[in-house]
Amino acid sequence: MKVVIAGSGFAGLQLAKRLKNKEDIEVLLIDENNYHEFQPLFYQVATGGLDASNISFPLRKIFQGAKNITIRLTEITEIKPQENTIVTGLENFSYDVLVIATGADTNFFNNARLKENALPMKSTSEALRIRHHLIQNMEEALEITDKEQLIQKLNVVIAGGGPTGVELSGAIAEMRNHILPKDYPEIDFKLMNIYLVEGSPRTLASMSEKSSAQSRRYLEKLGVKVMTDTHVKDYDGNYVTLAEASTIPAKTVIWAAGIKGNVPAGIDPALIAKGNRIKVDRLNKVKGFDNIYAIGDVAYMETPKYPHGHPQVANVAINQAKNLAVNLIRQVTGNKHYQDEFEYHDKGSLATVGKNLAVADIAKPKIHVGGALAWFIWMALHLVLILGVKNRLQIFINWVYKYFTRDQSLRLLFKEFYKQPDK
């Protein structure tokens, strides 16, 4: 069986690892990057807490010694289901089984000005660009004498009160409170406002009401201005326009208000569900096809427990990949009639706001944990999930250093990187 896996995120990587060195299975893993990115820690790269290399791991190192896995770095331009072929920037590849694990990207909801001026954070390079943007703004603020212009340069608006928005807001607030005043003593950081704008009535809407309320208290404790029941309507690069027509002066808007699936060309539009996700059955098989599957954020599966699709989180992606790997191996070994349907067992949710400030909802037993205990649980879980002993060690050292010093040593501005590339 020749299996082509499109994407090396949590889903694609887990599937490839499960199929590693399995007899009679040949795997081609395709991605634009030669590394796996640990997305839950993008916000720490963006705020100088971690280096990009700490949360990335080379694909070829992961599969050293694998006899049945080939890796190609290229972009998938089209799928041709009738020909069992995918078209890429390198060449056309044939497959017996195609697994679409292309993940999700930022959803600007067709707002062209937001897409042009706001900063997304769905890749390592985008996280680095946010870091460089924030540092460059501080450097430029040193030369501003007009108070209104200075406030505009210092203000930060984060759109979206989910885990990404909450964690990013808390991290930037800690920078403002403890780090930036020491780096830039000439600037009055009482003028710097951090706004978290969320369209629903509460932050962390997918978590329990206790976690939502507690996360808001933590954010406000750090000095974040939390604005719920409102939306970012427009942004021209200088002023944020909210749904009720009020404006916020800001040179920095970070967009964390939505994601959409990365669906390759060639998929029938009738198979696309809300959020640009591909409709699949309980085996993660794309509806209407026997040999095309979709897993992870790009897959939309309705079950009795999740009638509107599963949450787009790493744990769902990893478990869908594990289930599909078992089913593909059974097909090769002659047990193709025994196929396990996917069922997601939610173990809980976590989000961190700052030092000793985090919230956790544990599914079984159903309990809520907050504060320092939840923060340590969050750290332990993320250290376990990170690939590579060296990465774990470096992250642990960085976290311990920051815990005792309230400082981060990665506030580096690489001029050539900061320049916006030509499009």
Q: What is the largest CA-CA distance in the chain?
A: 75
* pTM for the structure as a whole: 0.92
pLDDT (0 to 100) of residue 223: 97
- Domain 2-32+74-106+259-332 class in CATH: alpha beta
Q: Is 363 exposed, middle or buried (0-12, 13-18, 19+ CB in 10 A)?
A: exposed
Q: With DSSP H G I counted as helix, E B as strand and the rest as coil, what are the percentages for the chain, rounded to 5?
A: 35, 25, 40
Amino acid identity at 264: P
In percent, how much of the chain has pLDDT > 70? Answer: 98
d(CA 106, CA 187): 33
Cα separations (Å) of 140 from 55, 58, 112, 143, 189? 29, 36, 27, 6, 14
Q: In this predicted structure, what is the pLDDT of residue 365?
A: 85
Domain 112-257+348-418 has CATH 3.30.470.20: no
- Count of other CB atoms within 10 angstroms of residue 29: 26
* pLDDT (mean) for 208-228: 97
3-state secondary structure at position 224? coil
The answer to whether 278 and 261 are in contact (CB under 8 A) is: yes
Which two structure tokens, joined as six digits, stand for 313?
Answer: 């989180």
What count of other Cβ atoms lies within 10 Å of the Cβ of residue 42?
Answer: 25
Mean pLDDT of 317-343: 93
130: nearest Cα among 417, 382, 421, 358: 417
User: Which pLDDT does position 84 carry in this prediction?
Assistant: 96
Q: For strands 97-100 and 292-294, give the pairing.
A: parallel
- Note the pLDDT tens digit of each residue in 38-75: 999 999 999 999 999 999 999 999 999 999 999 999 99
DSSP helix/strand/coil, 245: coil
Spatial separation of the C-alpha atoms in residues 313 and 319, rounded to whole Å:
11
- Tokens 């950081």 locate to 189
Quick check: 418 pLDDT over 70? no
Of 210-219, 260-269, 327-336, least confident by mean pLDDT is 327-336
Cβ contacts of residue 422 below 8 Å, gap of 6+?
A: none
Grouping H, G, I as helix, E, B as strand and the rest as coil, residue 121 is coil
Average pLDDT across the chain, whole number: 93
- Give the Cα separation of 86 and 164 in Å (integer): 33
Residue 164 pLDDT > 80: yes
The reply to whether 2-32+74-106+259-332 and 112-257+348-418 are identical in fold is: yes
- 149: helix, coil or strand? helix
- Is the predicted pLDDT of residue 335 greater than 90, yes or no? no
Q: How many Cα atoms are found within 13 Å in the side-chain-facing hemisphere of 64?
A: 4
Q: Would you place residue 423 in the very low, low, confident or very high pLDDT band (cuts 50, 70, 90)?
A: very low
Backbone angles phi, psi at 102, to 5 degrees: -85, 0
Q: Please report the DSSP string for 13-68 in residue order.
A: HHHHHHHTT-TT-EEEEEESSSEEE-GGGHHHHHTTSS-GGGGEEEHHHHTTT-SS
What is the domain partition of the chain in residue ranges?
A: 2-32+74-106+259-332, 112-257+348-418
Q: Rounded to the nearest 5°, which phi and psi values hold at 248?
A: -125, 125
